[in-house]
Amino acid sequence: MVTSDRHLESLVAQLRSSQSSDRQQAAQALARLGPAAQAAIPALIQTFRHDDDKTVQGVTAFALRQMGSAVVPELRKLLGVPHLRLKVAKVLRQIGTPEALAAVETAVPQTRRRR
């Protein structure tokens, strides 16, 4: 799917809205765009990391997963954030690339027993 820079910029701006429904809609739209929206990864990471709304955070996690392997380096950094570690590990497992799975095994070794 091809998208314009202006459209991505609009969705990224919407991720910063004070309205949780706006942020949720933006994350959903970015998820639908998938890898075509990779330029929005930094904004999605910020939303995932800092948004207090559980629904927004969940939709943002889904959008990050839809970005595929391009998001792994950024998610890897979030494994060091204690309150996000398990959520990030789940997203990385769902991405499922060797790099993503290795990051989970390194940061959350007990996940080996849960499989």
Per-domain residue ranges of the chain: 5-114
Cα 8 to Cα 26: distance, rounded to the nearest angstrom:
9
- Name residues whose C-beta falls within 8 Å of residue 64's C-beta, 6 or more positions apart in sequence: 41, 44, 45, 48, 71, 75, 91
How confident is the model over 14-69, as pLDDT tens digits? Answer: 999 999 999 999 999 999 999 999 999 999 999 999 999 999 999 999 999 999 99
pLDDT of 113 higher than 60: no
Q: What is the mean pLDDT of the chain?
A: 91
Q: What percent of the chain has pLDDT over 70?
A: 91
Homologous superfamily (CATH) of 5-114 is: Leucine-rich Repeat Variant (1.25.10.10)
pTM above 0.85, yes or no: yes
Buried b (16+ CB within 10 A) or exposed e, 31-45: bebeebbbebbebbb
